[in-house]
Amino acid sequence: MQQRRFGPFTVSAIGLGCMNLSHAYGTPPSAEQGERVLLSALDAGVTLFDTASLYGFGANETLVGRVLKAHRGRFTLASKGGMAGVTGDDGVVRRVIDGRPEAIRKNCEDSLRRLQTDVIDLYYLHRWDKKVPIEESVGAMSRLVEQGKVRALGLSEVSAATLRKAHAVHPIGALQTEYSLWTRNPEIAVLEACRELGTTFVAFSPVARGFLCDAVHDVMAFDAKDIRRSMPRFEPGHHARNLALLPGYRQLAKEAGCTPAQLAIAWLLHKDGNIIPIPGTTSVEHLREDLGAADVKLDASLLQRLEAHVNQQTVSGHRYGAQARAEVDTEDYAA
């Protein structure tokens, strides 16, 4: 497996986003299947595992901790706080964004316990709580570094301006946001800011939440709890228009001698040596397919045609619905 820099660490060029094993796309796989995926990734040379307090309201960290604790020295562990499941007076667990120092401290302590480790290698602020200055939240996270509970800091779904404010308080080792052929927002400003500051850019949803795997054809079949139900691009009208992109996209993958999923990930690897994609999957077979993208070579002509075919102008619909758009701080293209 090729290696890339991740904050102060060196990790596999493709990491594993662990969210799918516990969260977001309907009924999660069994614990046994999750274990198979995690251990298969480790055996295949993956050395970056990405989880969060939010995923499964702690279930994902618990899974990662239980399965990988015996191998802790073999990989770099990233998790996130500042957005977690909180149980209300009615007994219902709800997602809450809370960037207050006391909340961040508690999130981190809870994560360390679930992950069964003494230290988290890179700890992200999952969402900037806009009621709390970013400097205050990052200041609290920097104290976790001083206490030896965290080795490096990261941010998720923030703008270049917010990254720079945070970096002035404490070095930001990594910034994570959605980036793929069909979500190009980071190209507005954040990628350049990361290069300037020496911050690694981590691309989540590199295969467009399954769309660029050529695997999402019937949105009406989504599970009731599948988060894609709230995303405009998967609404029937937008989705029908987006499906028209797939024949040409399949042809480009064929020319490249790879699968559609591998083409999407390989594109990211070719864009910049500072980018690490973290695809997620519940299947060992798909995991191996994704990791095969590291061996795909794309020439300049194919890259140009690929970017012209799938981009912000050719994709129909916004990546997020109104609520999710209000919660992130990323730059956006004009509607």
- Measure the CA angle with vertex 102, ends 97 and 107; round to 5°: 60
Three-class DSSP category at 5: strand
CA–CA distance, 329 with 176 (Å, rounded to integer): 12
For residues 80 and 126, the answer to whether their CB atoms sit within 8 Å is yes
For residues 170 and 142, the answer to whether their CB atoms sit within 8 Å is yes
User: Which residues, other chains included, contact 26 with Cβ-Cβ below 8 Å and sequence gap of 6+?
Assistant: 222, 223, 224, 225, 226
Catalytic residue among 55, 123, 179, 249: 55
User: Which residues, other chains included, contact 60 with Cβ-Cβ below 8 Å and sequence gap of 6+?
Assistant: 18, 19, 21, 22, 23, 51, 52
For residues 110 and 53, the answer to whether their CB atoms sit within 8 Å is yes
Nearest CA to 181 out of 110, 261, 114, 124 is that of 261
| Residue 71 in tokens | 């191998």
CA–CA distance, 175 with 30 (Å, rounded to integer): 30
CA–CA distance, 186 with 154 (Å, rounded to integer): 16
Residue 320 bears catalytic tag = no
CA–CA distance, 303 with 5 (Å, rounded to integer): 24
What does the DSSP assignment read for 117-131? Answer: -S-EEEEEESS--TT
Question: How many CB atoms within 10 Å of residue 16?
Answer: 29
Radius of gyration, CA atoms only, the chain: 19
Three-class DSSP category at 158: coil
| Residue 163 in tokens | 């990254």
Q: Which residues are catalytic?
A: 55
